[in-house]
Amino acid sequence: MVVGLGPGGADLLLPAARRALEHTATRYVRTSRHPAVADLAAAGIELRSFDDDYDAADDLDDVYDGIAAELIDVATTAGEVVYAVPGNPAVAERSVELLRSAAARGDIVLELVPGLSFAELAWARLGVDPMAGARLADARHLTAEDAVGGGPVLIAQCDTRLLLSDVKLVLLEVLPADAPVTVLRHLGLDDEEVRTVALADLDRDVEPDHLTALLVDSGVSAAARELARLLGLAERLRRPGGCPWDADQTHHSLTRYLLEEAYEVVEAVEALPPDAPAGDVPAGAYRALEDELGDLLYQVIFHAVLAEEAGAFDMAGVARGIHDKLVRRHPHVFGDTDAETSSDVTRNWEQIKKDEKGAASIVAGITPGLPSLLYAHKLMRKAASVGLDPGGRDDALRRLDAVLADLRTGDDQDLEARLGDLLAAAIVLARSGGVDAESALRGWAVRFRRRFEAMERLAEARQLELPALTPAAVAALWIESGGGP
């Protein structure tokens, strides 16, 4: 028979548990380091503990295996034994799990007498209704996933300072350093303590023991919970026993995948209407974007995990850094700067960015390796932010007309420079209409590819070989497939 001692003194022991202890001759307790044990001893109810096993063991799992084996052996010879555990035997008791397994095999007959767990006392002291989404976690197996998702989390078995340090590091992945943590010690006893400390001070300001628990409330959304799960998965795949491919990767080996996933996100965006999220979106278009964004997100997390292994930074630092950067660069939202138009915002943004980086020029941060259309677009945007606007729609059209006229009347001398002028004018026209030229050209290429594939299917259906057709026949086939003249 397993009985629960409750979370404090013998006054919190349930009557059924006390009767079992009083009426059974062979009595054990997992540890005598529990307030109720001394109270029971004073009433003449002595219990044999397994404290010596704890003190002599290097591995707690060995202790629990030994406890279960001895209790089964004693029950076999004595016929009946009562085993007392702190709190509720159904909550966080490894030795009881082993006894349940023995009962399932038919080795023993097992009866559990419930007890009041520390959790019920904690909910009462804190005024928390666990039915409203509160959760329970074990400090020894705490993950970032446990700490997020909304609602308070009660963390049990915080019995050493070293364990508190481990708990702090896990919580810092999803909570700021000044996040409040409620410390619960000796609930139900005369020296009961309930106080709040900052997360960063957890392992410095708290002297824990076996009657210590913590309560944290992330108050975050399901998004944070899922991000924590993904981060945990990436870390798991890198560890020994995980995935050999993931374990072999480096920052440089992942570069190609980062580029591929970024381009696939762009392709999924191109499948959306130009005014998305407004307008009618084709079925499945957002599903494709969701999938590709997930692939790209995993690349970001993968690089953060590698950096954490190197001791450089972690995913929490990445998220914190971009959060703080966005706050700094939106003084019109979080400060007293005025910005009534998008142009005002862009101008403020570029100046703040230049000051942050200590650059001599606002164009210093533009990567020369960008695709040329995107590179030119960024140069124009930077210039416009300091008043050097390359012009609007009418200016762009005049430049286009001038360059085209020059191309029609001139020869191929300086053709490359003239084409550069033509493309630059096209980018100015795109900017004047709020269009990204790089995306516009990619969109055209996507449409061209689809039409070309449709023409190939039409030719195949008619058993025609495209290379063998005359240019006029190919053009006719193109128009018939929907490509336009």
Domains and CATH numbers, the chain: 2-116 (3.40.1010.10), 119-220 (3.30.950.10), 225-310 (1.10.287.1080), 439-483 (no CATH)
Task: Render 380-391 in DSSP notation, one character per residue.
Answer: HHHHHHTT----
C-alpha 112/C-alpha 383 separation (Å) is 76
Per-residue pLDDT 10s for the chain (485 aa) are 999 998 888 888 999 999 999 999 999 999 998 889 999 999 999 999 999 988 888 888 888 999 999 999 999 888 899 999 988 998 878 899 999 999 999 999 999 998 888 888 898 888 888 887 788 888 988 887 777 766 789 998 898 999 999 999 988 887 888 889 999 998 888 889 999 999 999 999 999 988 899 999 876 556 776 888 899 899 999 999 999 999 999 999 998 899 889 988 988 888 888 788 887 888 788 999 999 999 999 999 999 999 999 999 999 889 888 988 888 888 888 877 887 787 777 777 767 776 776 656 666 667 776 778 777 887 877 777 767 777 788 888 988 898 888 888 877 778 888 888 888 888 888 888 888 788 788 778 888 888 888 888 888 888 888 888 888 888 888 888 776 65
Only one residue has tokens 């006719």, namely 476
CB-based burial of residue 288 (10 Å sphere; 0-12 exposed, 13-18 middle, 19+ buried)?
middle
Q: What is the pLDDT of residue 383?
A: 76
Identity of the residue numbered 204: R
C-alpha 186/C-alpha 149 separation (Å) is 28
Identity of the residue numbered 318: V
Q: How far is CA 207 from the centre of its chain?
A: 31
Q: What is the pLDDT of residue 308?
A: 93
Buried b (16+ CB within 10 A) or exposed e, 41-66: eeeebebebbeebeeeeeeeeebbeb
Q: What is the pLDDT of residue 113?
A: 92
CB-based burial of residue 253 (10 Å sphere; 0-12 exposed, 13-18 middle, 19+ buried)?
exposed
CB-based burial of residue 93 (10 Å sphere; 0-12 exposed, 13-18 middle, 19+ buried)?
buried
Contact 211, 193 (CB under 8 A): no
Identity of the residue numbered 151: G
